[in-house]
Structure 1
Amino acid sequence: MSEQPPYLRIADVLRQRIASGEWQPGDRLPSRARFAEEYDVGDNVVRRAQEHLISQGLLEGRAGSGTYVAEPRARLRMVRGLAREKRGGSPFRADMAALGRAGTWEYRTEAKVPAPEDIARRLGIEAGALTVRTAYEFLGNGKPVQLSTSWEPYDLTGGTLIVLPEGGPYAGKGVVERMAAIGITISHAVEQPEPRTATTEEAHLLGVQRGALVTAIERTYYAEDGRPVETADIVVPAAHCEIVYEIPINRP
């Protein structure tokens, strides 16, 4: 059997020292240089060990400050349903506010992206037709909560005030409110959740271990005439969030 890589050996030692109570949640760890000297390894080995523990949620890095023992994270209860679409503004920000957290996000938008075959099928357009693609990283109190990649047909929003989801007067608004601004009323959304494991990139962005369980949601918004107007792939870490669906009941 091959010998354990040095960075995993150091990660195990650090994990044991944290478990023993040597450092408490919120404590700053000694410098990498100190650990490198203590364990007679290179600084790069310590860096990889700490990154490994960060991916498992045991440590957290703070830019310009150092590495800290992570505070225990309560599992968030995220309710999805009609009510979240009627509150105005950003549904995600409202979701986080209901949990007593500040909802923020980072994004990257690309205009005129040819639609892959599966996205084209979901949007009811030809494969290769132009779309506006926006990748999001959603944060609750600065910690990653979910990822999302949204696609909108360029023929639908091109030349309007909402062509860029995070630009113009409707920046940061939800899809329902943005589409209403160009005369499109969204009647419903369809969501298909599936459990799977996180990819390496997803794990890095969500601060979970590679291969950790996530809930992947394929969501599509539809206009009153049945047209799909936006589709998105949403990824939620199962260890940090539980997803609950609220189903309205129409009274007779």
Structure 2
Amino acid sequence: MAVHTPRYIQIADDLRNRIRSGELQRGARVPSENEIREQWAVSGITARAALAALRNEGLIEGVRGKGSFVRLKSPLVRLAPQRWNRTGAEGPRPTYSLEAERAGQPVAVERSSQETQASAEQAERLNINVGDPVSETKYFIVMDSRPVSCGVSWEPLAITGTTEIASPAEGPYAALGIVGRFDRIGVHVDEVEEVLDCRMPNPTEAQILHMPAQGTPVVAIQQTWLAQGMPVCTADVVFPADRYEFRYRMQIK
């Protein structure tokens, strides 16, 4: 018995193949709903379903008043573990700074810090007590006028509270990144653990990162930095999956 493939899937398959073959290149306009109706002799409902399927896969995106276009893939590349190397005359630089430089893109960073108390989850990750004072820093990073990440980090004030890095968003070392900042107070960060989760963005993340309502997931990374086994910072960072490529190259011993 032959299996019938719905018409909208056939249309989506055809457009997908044209995108992947390069016939429809990144940034190219894809056929509109009306053009699909005429070319494939289908209803508006079927045409909309075909375009929706491609949007949900993250292959195309709509621009109000202009139509749908093949999604642009960002040249931003995040390398691991090389990005944590202590290099350069000024010491370690924030990862986003290196990535923007490599991609030839201007970068803007918004960050703000405040003192708060550790929640149960933060306390567990930092190996401190619930309610212990921590600095909480929120980050928002834009490259080439497009949001590329947002996040929040926590550092135990028992370690940094009386130092020049107590407020991560301020002070003479704010632009150095976590490894460089802790180097300045004699705390040698020698390990970082990252846990990656690919999921759909929540409404707040979608709004902050200017993401479409459907189709594009985020890569959510839970990070914890340690100095000789002692957690000194933990963070939750979210990246739109279509704006970053995560590349891992590690030695085999």
Q: TM-score, normalised by structure 2?
A: 0.68
Alignment of 1:1-252 (within 5 A): 58-59=62-63, 73-86=72-85, 87=87, 88-111=92-115, 113-210=116-213, 212-224=216-228, 226-249=229-252
User: How far is the alpha carbon of 1:178 from its aligned partner?
Assistant: 0.3
Q: Deviations over 1:114-142 (max 9, x none)?
A: 11111110000011111101111111112
Q: 1:142 to 1:77 in 2, by over 3 A?
A: closer
Secondary structure of the structure 1 residue equivalent to 2:190: strand
Q: TM-score, normalised by structure 1?
A: 0.68
Q: 1:134 to 1:68 in 2, by over 3 A?
A: farther
Partner amino acid, structure 2, of 1:84 = R
Q: Deviations over 1:174-197 (max 9, x none)?
A: 111100111100111000101111
Partner of 2:47: none
- The 2-side partners of 1:161 and 1:74 are apart by 39
- The 1-side partners of 2:244 and 2:81 are apart by 19
Q: 1:197 to 1:20 in 2, by over 3 A?
A: closer
Partner amino acid, structure 2, of 1:147 = C
Partner amino acid, structure 2, of 1:175 = I
User: How far is the alpha carbon of 1:100 from its aligned partner?
Assistant: 1.4
Structure 2 residues not aligned, in runs of 5+: 1-28, 33-59
- The 1-side partners of 2:188 and 2:83 are apart by 16
Q: 1:198 to 1:232 in 2, by over 3 A?
A: same
User: How far is the alpha carbon of 1:57 from its aligned partner?
Assistant: 6.0
Partner of 1:44: none
User: Identity of paired residues, percent?
Assistant: 28
